[in-house]
Amino acid sequence: MAEKTKKQSYDASAIQVLEGLQAVRKRPGMYIGGTGVEGLHHLVWEVLDNAIDEAMAGFCTNIEIVIHPDNSLSVDDNGRGIPVDKQKQTGKSALETVLTVLHAGGKFGGGGYKVSGGLHGVGVSVVNALSTHLRAEVARDGKLYAQEFKDGGKPVGALKKVGPADYTGTKITFTPDPEVFETIEYNYKKILDRVRQQAYLTKGVKIRLTDERTGLPTGQAGKNYSFYFEGGIKSYVSHLNRNKELINPNVFYVEKTVGNTSVEVAIQYTSDYTENVQTFANNIHTADGGTHLTGFRGAITRSINDYAKKSGIIKEAKDNLSGDDVREGLAAVVSVKLPDPQFEGQTKAKLGNPEVQNQVGSVMAEYFSYYLDENPNDAKKIITKCLLSARARMAARAARDTVIRKGALEGMTLPGKLADCSSKDASQSELYIVEGDSAGGSAKQGRDRTFQAILPLKGKILNVERARLDRMLAFEEIKALIIAMGAGIGETKDLSKMRYHRIVIMTDADVDGAHIRTLLLTFYYRYFPEIIDNGYLYIAQPPLYKIQKGAKKFYAYNDADKEEIMSELAKSSKKEKVKGKNQIGESEIDAGFVVTEVGGDDEMIEETPEEETEETGEKKIAGVSLQRYKGLGEMNPEQLWETTMDPENRVFLQVTAEDAEAANEVFSMLMGNEVEPRKRFIQTHAKNVKNLDV
């Protein structure tokens, strides 16, 4: 008889109690959302939010943030200073309590703050838990106090008086723990955008950001900015629309307190075809909206319809404008401040207070109606814009139905240009969008038909930034792309019907190829942002050069790669390993879009370099041939497969929209109707363009 497996004992000794800040270090994702770049910056937001809370309470007018050369960061404010007297429940100073005890703070009983962002009481204590070192300095009652912590929140001695102080405030300096975070290098632009946003939302506070680091890429180090806005969110809306054609030059703005809730709204319409509404609760960006957004949307739709009926523009109820109609081209900021906000999750992405919906709705309905009555010219322009949107919506529905009907009727007969794959598993299937029939031919012959589909595009697609859906769907290349993807578009869009979970943009490495890539990125960002959010969109990286010596082949993806490979081959002192460049690292595409390397292993080849010779100014190496690819069509199917499509060797750049607001701004500037912002951008960056291939 086989021996019975010994059962693992499960008794009281198996129950572990995590004390103090141990729970945070054990499960950091529960408190800051993750240990990647977003989690790292969440530490900054937690400390900054405490300073902003002091500003909202009326006690702080200056905040200074400094990124130090060792990647520590400090936030210094001139608020009241964290209390330093003994806290009865813990027997420690109040400062040590808030830095070492979860759910300890001045935001629970109502005595410390009427309105604040940090309501879970885990903010600065979590920062301490996830830092190798933290120093807190507090100035109050004419004295300067300091206390230090290390290794995840362990006090280094007790709170001490370190000198006199003729001011008040708190300064927190912390160094993130590299054993917790994937990176401890701060993104200056990410912090800058957050600081600008907070300055807009908190009228009368000056926030300064300084980066003291050196050795970073050009333009990322040594900068400092100060922000101060008297106009608050009214200035914020003007900032969002600074590169756009305005419908109503006068920004609508209202600020009113209903009950215990302060409601602040600013609105302006542009000629855009998309909506840009930013919502905040206690200065925290609620990316997923919530009850304040619901109240705002309902009120603006009712107000515009009521005015249109009263003016005789709309005769019958059946002609009422829909919510989508009134939101086309709308740029707005909705900010509420309330004593007890209910957020969904620790990251606070959505507001859940039911009473806020009516509070925002009543303020909006009353004061936006006054605005329309008092500004008849602006009101007429806004309603004309909404009516155009309604007509376009009906035309788009007809065009979309045609696209969907065509796709359904043809069944498996997809667009004639599409060379489909045999796999029906979307998670394993890839769609290559290829520039031109020549490259399309090579790609079709070189691909793995099992899981790779090829769709060649003829010429440049329509710039969808300047076109509504109805006009876009009349463009054959876009229609073919939508049918090929299989997910529909607009109101009937359903990503569960996507036929491919990897969509690869594969264009030439020249100006036209870059333009086509930008047009496609605009199309996906505006009409299929979910594809980007789900990580389905990629950019292929075909090599620029093929370098060959005998049977050995190397592919270089840029001039720096080429020079490195040629330099290695030119060495004659001894045999060396030469790295065939199959990766190009991390780079950026138009602010807001981040591309990261996916796949691709380095190829290590042993080679004996040859002597160099000079011919017509071009450095040559005996026995080494150098071929420059001007386009994908110049590669034969085998080369295209080997360098760009073979999962074993290829390099893809995955497209993500980390900062939707910045991405929206860039697309509006580069692809919109306004010429001057685009002209300024070109003039500013022209000097940075090298080796322009025209």
Which residue has better confidence, 681 or 39? 39
Catalytic residue among 193, 288, 448, 510: 510
Dump pLDDT digits (tens) for 534-574: 899 999 988 888 888 877 888 888 788 888 888 888 774 33
Whether 423 and 373 map to the same domain: the answer is no
Average pLDDT, integer, range 644-656 = 88
Which residue has better confidence, 465 or 247? 247
The contacts of residue 168 (CB under 8 Å, 6+ apart) are 78, 79, 80, 81, 139, 140
* pLDDT of 69 strictly over 70: yes
From 227, 255, 286, the end of a domain falls on 227
Q: Grade residue 586 by pLDDT with cuts at 50, 70 and 90.
A: very low
Dump pLDDT digits (tens) for 329-338: 999 999 999 9
Question: What pLDDT does residue 3 have?
Answer: 44
| Sheet strands (E) in 177-260 | 206-211, 224-227, 252-258
Nearest-angstrom CA–CA distance, 151 and 174: 11
Q: Grade residue 607 by pLDDT with cuts at 50, 70 and 90.
A: very low
What amino acid occupies position 178?
P
The CATH code of the domain that includes 198 is 3.30.565.10
Catalytic residue among 324, 355, 512, 674: 512
The CATH code of the domain that includes 661 is 3.40.50.670
Whether 106 and 164 map to the same domain: the answer is yes
Whether 107 and 175 map to the same domain: the answer is yes
In a domain, 365, yes or no: yes
Whether 449 and 351 map to the same domain: the answer is no
**β-pairing, 545-549 with 552-556?**
antiparallel
In a domain, 439, yes or no: yes
- The CA–CA distances, whole Å, from 23 to 9, 31, 100, 174 equal 24, 10, 12, 19
* pLDDT of 108 strictly over 50: no
Question: What pLDDT does residue 385 have?
Answer: 92
Average pLDDT, integer, range 224-242 = 91
The CATH code of the domain that includes 351 is 3.30.230.10
How buried is residue 57: exposed, middle or buried, by Cβ count under 10 Å (0-12/13-18/19+)? middle
Question: What pLDDT does residue 605 have?
Answer: 36
Nearest-angstrom CA–CA distance, 382 and 158: 62
Rounding to the nearest 10 degrees, give the CA dihedral for residues 437, 438, 442, 443: -40
Q: Which letter does DSSP use for residue 142 in this model?
A: T
Question: What pLDDT does residue 133 have?
Answer: 96
Nearest one of 114, 136, 121 to 58, comparing CA atoms = 114
> Which residue range(s) make up the domain with 458?
418-542+586-598+631-694
Which residue has better confidence, 192 or 11? 192
Share of the chain above pLDDT 90, in %: 40
CA-CA-CA-CA torsion sign (507, 512, 514, 517): negative
In a domain, 29, yes or no: yes
CA angle, corner 274, sides to 342 and 189, nearest 5?
65
Nearest one of 421, 548, 399, 525 to 463, comparing CA atoms = 525
* pLDDT of 218 strictly over 60: no
Whether 59 and 200 map to the same domain: the answer is yes
Whether 211 and 239 map to the same domain: the answer is no
What amino acid occupies position 56?
M
Rg (CA), the chain: 29
Question: What pLDDT does residue 643 have?
Answer: 86
User: Residue ranges of the alpha helices (H) in 311-375?
Assistant: 323-327, 354-374
* pLDDT of 16 strictly over 70: no
In a domain, 430, yes or no: yes
Lowest mean pLDDT among 166-180, 350-364, 443-457, 639-653: 639-653
Do 226 and 208 meet the contact criterion of CB atoms below 8 Å apart?
Answer: yes
In a domain, 179, yes or no: yes
From 175, 195, 227, the end of a domain falls on 227
* pLDDT of 597 strictly over 60: no
Nearest-angstrom CA–CA distance, 403 and 473: 8
Question: What pLDDT does residue 624 have?
Answer: 83
Nearest-angstrom CA–CA distance, 77 and 53: 11
Whether 135 and 170 map to the same domain: the answer is yes
* pLDDT of 6 strictly over 50: no
* pLDDT of 613 strictly over 50: no
Q: Grade residue 591 by pLDDT with cuts at 50, 70 and 90.
A: very low
* pLDDT of 454 strictly over 90: yes
Whether 217 and 237 map to the same domain: the answer is no
Question: What pLDDT does residue 406 have?
Answer: 53
**β-pairing, 330-337 with 430-435?**
unpaired
Task: Describe the crossing of helices 354-374 and 376-410 by its angle, rounded to 10 degrees.
Answer: 120
How buried is residue 10: exposed, middle or buried, by Cβ count under 10 Å (0-12/13-18/19+)? exposed
Question: What pLDDT does residue 558 have?
Answer: 79
Q: Grade residue 269 by pLDDT with cuts at 50, 70 and 90.
A: very high
In a domain, 566, yes or no: no
In a domain, 581, yes or no: no
Average pLDDT, integer, range 294-313 = 94
Do 670 and 592 meet the contact criterion of CB atoms below 8 Å apart?
Answer: no
From 227, 261, 289, the end of a domain falls on 227
Whether 101 and 202 map to the same domain: the answer is yes
Q: Grade residue 346 by pLDDT with cuts at 50, 70 and 90.
A: low
Whether 426 and 358 map to the same domain: the answer is no
Whether 65 and 82 map to the same domain: the answer is yes
The contacts of residue 494 (CB under 8 Å, 6+ apart) are 487, 488
Lowest mean pLDDT among 167-171, 174-178, 185-189: 185-189
Dump pLDDT digits (tens) for 352-410: 999 999 999 999 999 999 999 999 999 999 999 999 888 887 877 776 666 555 544 34
Nearest-angstrom CA–CA distance, 253 and 371: 9
* pLDDT of 192 strictly over 60: yes
Do 465 and 669 meet the contact criterion of CB atoms below 8 Å apart?
Answer: no
Which residue(s) pair with 594 in the sheet? 588, 656
Lowest mean pLDDT among 94-108, 492-506, 629-643: 94-108
Catalytic residue among 508, 607, 642, 665: 508
Question: What pLDDT does residue 204 have?
Answer: 86
Map residue 371 onto helix, strand or coil: helix
Total-model pTM: 0.67
Average pLDDT, integer, range 120-147 = 88
Question: What pLDDT does residue 363 have?
Answer: 96
In a domain, 145, yes or no: yes
Nearest-angstrom CA–CA distance, 396 and 394: 5
Nearest one of 196, 264, 200 to 232, comparing CA atoms = 200
Question: What pLDDT does residue 246 have?
Answer: 92
Across 348-380, b (16+ Cβ under 10 Å) vs e yields bbbbebeebbebbbebbbebbbebbeebeebbb
* pLDDT of 412 strictly over 60: no
Instruction: Give the count of domains, the chain.
Output: 3
Catalytic residue among 325, 378, 435, 642: 435
Average pLDDT, integer, range 192-197 = 91
Question: What pLDDT does residue 661 have?
Answer: 58
Q: Is 508 among the catalytic positions?
A: yes
Residue whose entry in the numeric block shows the structure tokens 């004309």: 384
Report how far Cα 452 is from the mean position of its chain's Cα atoms: 29
* pLDDT of 453 strictly over 60: yes
Whether 205 and 237 map to the same domain: the answer is no
